[in-house]
Structure 1
Amino acid sequence: MDSNEDTEQDRHPKGSRVGYGLVLGLFIGAALGLMVDNLAFGAGIGLLVGIVVGSLLDAHENSSEE
């Protein structure tokens, strides 16, 4: 194996932002769900928004690297 060969981790040293979006979305969604007395609905919407926002951040970061 050649030492100059790029590995997947070397090319993309930063992790995915989707995980951060999920965590923040869950917290915000749960807080909103508690306010409207429907925790499951709020958390579900929060997770959905978190996935979308995290994916958009990843897409933007990946397009700026190229």
Structure 2
Amino acid sequence: MRRWPRSWPGSGDYVAFGAQLAKLGRAAAEQDKPPPWLIPVELVRAFLAALHSGDWLVKLLLITVIVGVWP
């Protein structure tokens, strides 16, 4: 019967990677959030880019979504 070692080879790499990931998470949380006007501007920009792309299926999908969401 084979017994596995208590410490897997390379398990220290996972610990180091987890520590780096935790630092990145804290750094990302400390960054400023984008301004509130940026989301609608990006949606309009994406809509205009899709209309300009010439793909009729994308245009049809966008028009369907807009008509469905319109109050």
State the TM-score, normalizing by the size of structure 2.
0.32
Q: Tell me which structure has the larger Cα radius of gyration.
A: 2
